[in-house]
Amino acid sequence: MKVFGIILEANPLHFGHQYFIKQIHATYHPDILIAIISTSFTMRGEISLLDKFTKTRLLLNEGIDIILELPFSLSVQSADYFAKNCLTILNQFQITDLAFGSETRDLNLYHRLYQFMTDIKPHILQTKKYSKKQLINQLLLSSNFTQNEIDMINLPNFTLGFQYIKTINDSHHPINYHLIQRVANNYYDQVATSNIASGTTIRHLLKEKKDISFYLPYNQCYLIDLNQAEKKLLLLFEYEYMIKHNLEPTYFSYKEGIHNYIRKKGIFKFDLETLQKSLKNKKYTISHLNRSMLHMLLHTKEIEHSIYLRILGITPSGIKYLNGLPNSTKASIFSSPKELVKCQNNVKTQKILAYELQATQLYQLLSSKDDLYLNEFKLPIRKDK
């Protein structure tokens, strides 16, 4: 069987994702297509425009057979950990192939970068004069990479794709990988040239209260009010950092000193963007800051690796495929939190789920959607073909 896996943030799901899924079906004709999705918050620590239940229903309608959850504590991470967590879960479901979007068809560029990064000695990157990214770019330029290639390597989707390939190779997963050429807009573009717009474009237009229905294959009403959600989140951040002063050394990223830095340097008076700009520097990107603040808000503690196999949505074809998996894998699969009692799961898995449920409650508060937490106990969402 050809069992394809894809990794989606879908923030929001748009025509570009629809094109991506159709290209996989048309080019590779997979027997089963499995998607793993981040939930209430993205890898970069942004608020998802779609709640995970709506996202699941929409993806089932796009031809996905099984939707898997990448929970809060595993998804709100740097690109390398994000990729590792996704591929660890997908490998448990025995995918044979991974497809991901890329701005280039040049797979050799990924392989050259992989060899380059493998050969770098760790001590070379230990300097305070430059950020790690700046130093790597200098080393690339002196290692026969052209400036155009370096610009491509620095694009967010290339970075993620590279981490997928690195994880597959380093972990010796038996997974083939394929590039799907992105069309129209790149990740950072804020001006759309067709109905296939980047997520950045759509979020930018939404915050300016523009009509974005042209860029979505569903009704805009499914999206949350991002401006209101960010106002609420900023208020919660201000309370956590400026009022509570409760910084425990066990919190995620505490050892880096980032939480004290946020408390001392952060400007909480205006909006979330102002806070981010007041804190961004050579050491801390906005994504890093967003992730740290969210983990602080939920009092996340770092968890050692654990198998987390949760199904959000499924079709009859997906059910048939699951029935053929090894019993050891099936014993660890669950959907509703109630099922964990019956499964052979450990304390770590239950802790990961507990953080995910807290993230849903936080998202429910930010989005003003009152029924989200109850939906956690009604999974999986089923679609009959």
| Residue range 303-351, pLDDT digits in tens | 777 789 999 999 999 999 999 999 999 999 999 998 886 665 578 899 9
Question: Following CA atoms 331, 336, 338, 339 in sequence, which dihedral angle do they give, to the nearest 10 degrees?
Answer: -10
Residue 252 to residue 259: CA distance in whole angstroms: 9
* DSSP letter, residue 280: -
pLDDT over threshold 80, residue 262: yes
What pLDDT is attached to residue 123?
62
As a whole number of angstroms, the distance between CA 233 and CA 271 comes to 10
Residue 144: partners with Cβ closer than 8 Å, 6 or more residues away: none
Query: Of 257, 272, 290, 234, which is closest to residue 76 (Cα–Cα)?
Result: 290
CA distance 186 to 197: 8
pLDDT score of 273 more than 80: yes
pLDDT grade for 12, boundaries at 50, 70 and 90: very high
Segment 40-68 shows an average pLDDT of 98
Tens digits of per-residue pLDDT, 288-297?
Answer: 999 999 999 9
Q: How confident is the model over 179-205, as a mean pLDDT? A: 78
CB proximity list for 357: less than 8 A, separation 6 or greater = 337, 373, 376
Q: Which of 166, 157, 119, 158 is nearest to 149 (CA)?
A: 158
Q: Please state, in angstroms and as integers, the Cα–Cα distance from residue 275 to each residue in 124, 134, 238, 288, 313, following that order.
A: 33, 24, 10, 13, 37
Burial of residue 370 (CB within 10 Å: 0-12, 13-18, 19+) is exposed
